[in-house]
Every structure is written in structure tokens, then in C-alpha cells.
Amino acid sequence: MTKALPHSARADLDFVLAWRRRWADTLYPALVEQTNEAGGGPPTDRKAATPVVHDQPVYPWFAWSERASQKALWRAVSDAVADAPPIALPEAPQGSLTLNPGLHLPEWYTDWDIHVQPGGVWRADASAHVYELGAKLVMMGDNDDYAFHRRFVETCAGDLDSPTRLVDLGCGFGKSTWPLKQAYPGAEVIGIDLAAPCLRLAHAKTEALGLAVHYRQADVTVDTGLEPASADFATSTMVIHELPQPALKGFFAEAARILKPGGRLAVLDFQFTGDAVRDVAVMEHGARNNEPFMPGMMAQDTAQMARDAGFANAAWTAFDERGAGRLPAAEWPARREWHFPWAVLEAEMPT
């Protein structure tokens, strides 16, 4: 991940990565153990468990380390990216990049430094490079080759029947967009996002891979600019937990509008697991990680929101980022360490 970086930058990143791993594999299990001992066994209700979790000796260290290590991550990543050379576009680009300088960026998007990344991902081109490298560290350094996103495409979109158009809603720097093109080289693949810096990086990285993907700047919660009933498959990864409720409803409405009859939607995000301590930590992650709309999203019946938008058969299923990908049922594997409760909301448009 950091082979081309100076020794000092590698050392800073390695320190942050080690800190986050100890937060996940040492502090979190200690919090679970202390909570279980205090309650005479594992708690079964998230709300009832919350004050018990807060009362444990290790809890302040767990909570502080989550936010402090996140801040340290962005400092280290920003320093590392400052001297990184830009990605050069090929002389004859295969795909396209359509930016909209007049696009209004909604306040819910610009008023927060999401993920605690200073300035967010939309202010400058360097922001996209910082976000890309930071995303790898947030995954504990286990997503250097984007295997997580490739596995998502393989297990959630690998059985499409000769699709002609696939759309990645809120594509960021393209981490799930180019795997769609690799899986379906004959299909038109479109990535849409609010952030021009992320789109420029996505375009450059995709071109460097020799792939023809079309990127465009638009608000996926209002109007993608795509024709009605024109896509066979739409996806988003780690997007809907960053949307306030009106925008969340708009997301599902716009996805339903652009999908053909029989078209499918797959949304990778977070859900409660039923493990009370983990669910407390997930709910509070929103505040510690500057994701103010995450608790509201998780409290919503998003499957019903999809059905209200016109989708059928909307349901969540668990996703194991370690390799298994989409699981056959909404049953999370037992894990001692902290991990995000990844899940996939799948739905389809009636025929």
C-alpha cells in the first residue's frame, strides 16, 4: 500500500494502522467482556445495554481511540498524499468524464467533514487522493487491492443476464465502479457522484486500467440525469448511511426511476446485528466519525422505504468482507474483534 512513500510517511501510516487494529482486536473485546461480566451475561437489548456499556472502565478508551485514531489517520494520510504524483490520463481516454460546475451541493453534504476528513472529499483534488488512501486504512489495511469491492460485485451482481447498463450511485473514486466494468465489459457502466475531485480520480484510475467507464457529476438523491427505465442494475456502496431522511427517500425514488422493469438494486451499507454491544458501538460510531445521519438511517425501515419507492422483494442480508461476500441469510458470523456490520439491501423493480 505504501511502498512508494518516504520512510517517514510509511512509519506514520503503519503507526495509525497498528493503533486501529489494537482498538479493534483488543479494546473492543475487552469492552464486550466487561459488559457481559457486569450484566451477568451478554445483553440482549441495545437500548438497555447502552448505560451498561458506558459504565465499563474500558469504554472511555474505546470511544476516545475510535475518534482520535481517525483524526490521526487523516493527518498521516494527508502528509503522505502531499508528495504523491498525480495519476496521468492516457492520451486517448476510453471512457468519459462529465462535470457540472454549476451543480448545487446540498448543505447536508457540505456542512460536515464526513469521516472526520478535514474539508470532506469535495473541496480540492487532493481530497480525493486522501480519501482513497484513508479508505484502505479504515479497512485495517485489508483492502489494498479493493478485494472487498470486487467480492461485492461478484456475489451481488455476478449473475446478471447480459445487462446493457449498470449504474453506481455515489461512486466516489470508483472503487465499486470499475469492478462492474471488469465483470461486464460489454455493458455501459456509469458512475455518479457529487464530488468532482472524486470523479476526476475515478476517471483517471479507470482509464489507467484500460476500462471505458462514464463518470458524471449529479445528485443521486434528486436527479441522475439518466433516462427513465434505462438501467438493468444499480448499486451503491457506503452511501445511504450518509443521507438524511428526505435524501434517503429521494435516493430510492431515483433508483426506481432509472431501473427497467425487472432491474435490480444492491445497496451495501450497515445494519444492526442483534449483538447488543456491537449495535451500541455502531450507533455511536455516527457521532464519533462525523456521520450524523447514520443513526437515523439504521433506525429506519429502509427495506420498507424501498418498497414505498416501487421496489419489490426488498430485504437485507449479511455481508462478510473477509472473503465470503454476500451471505445466504441475515446472519452475521461470530467475530471477536470489532468490525462494521456490513449488509446488502437487495430489491428489484416489478416486471
Residue 183 predicted with pLDDT over 60: yes
Give the CATH fold of the 107-348 domain: Rossmann fold (3.40.50)
Q: Give the strand order in the sheet containing 342-348.
A: 96-98, 214-217, 188-193, 165-169, 231-237, 259-270, 342-348, 312-320, 325-326
Cβ neighbours of residue 163 closer than 8 Å, sequence gap 6 or more? 184, 187, 232, 233
Contacts 24+ apart (CB under 8 A), 221-225: 221/106, 221/247, 221/248, 221/250, 221/251, 221/254, 222/250, 222/254, 223/254, 224/167, 224/169, 224/192, 224/254, 224/258
Residues 6+ apart with CB under 8 A from 126: 78, 81, 82, 197
pLDDT at 236: 97
- Give strand pairing partners of 235: 168, 266
Q: What is the pLDDT of residues 120-143, one digit of tens each?
A: 999 988 899 899 888 877 665 554
Q: Report the pLDDT value the prediction gives residue 93, as an integer from 0 to 100.
A: 75
Which of the two residues, 188 and 94, has the higher pLDDT score? 188
Indicate the length of the chain as a whole number. 351
Q: 62 or 87: which carries more pLDDT confidence? A: 62
Q: Does the pLDDT at position 103 exceed 90?
A: yes
Question: How is the chain split into domains, by residue range?
Answer: 7-89, 107-348
DSSP, res 242: G
pLDDT, mean of residues 101-124: 93
DSSP string, 141-172: T--TT-HHHHHHHHHHHTT-SS-SEEEEET-T
pLDDT higher than threshold 90 for residue 35: yes
- Does position 2 have pLDDT exceeding 50, yes or no? no
The helix-helix angle for 59-82 and 7-22 (nearest 10°) equals: 160
pLDDT tens-place string over residues 141-180: 554 568 888 999 999 999 999 999 999 999 999 999 999 9
Model confidence band, residue 3 (pLDDT cutoffs 50, 70, 90): very low
Residue 323 has what pLDDT? 83
215-238 pLDDT, tens digit each: 999 999 999 999 999 999 999 999
User: What span, in angstroms and rounded, lies between the C-alpha atoms of 332 and 324?
Assistant: 11
Q: Rounded to an integer, what distance in angstroms lies between the CA atom of residue 339 and that of residue 351?
A: 37
Predicted confidence at residue 134, as pLDDT, reads: 84
pLDDT band at 85 (very low <50, low <70, confident <90, very high): low
As a whole number, mean pLDDT of residues 345-349 equals 98
Reported as a single tens digit per residue, the pLDDT across 14-33 is: 999 999 999 999 999 999 99
Query: Which tens digit of pLDDT belongs to each residue from 247-301?
Result: 999 999 999 999 999 999 999 999 999 999 999 999 999 999 999 999 999 999 9
Question: For 313-330, how does the pLDDT look when each residue is reduced to its tens digit (9 = 90+)?
Answer: 999 999 998 888 999 876
The pLDDT assigned to 141 comes to 52
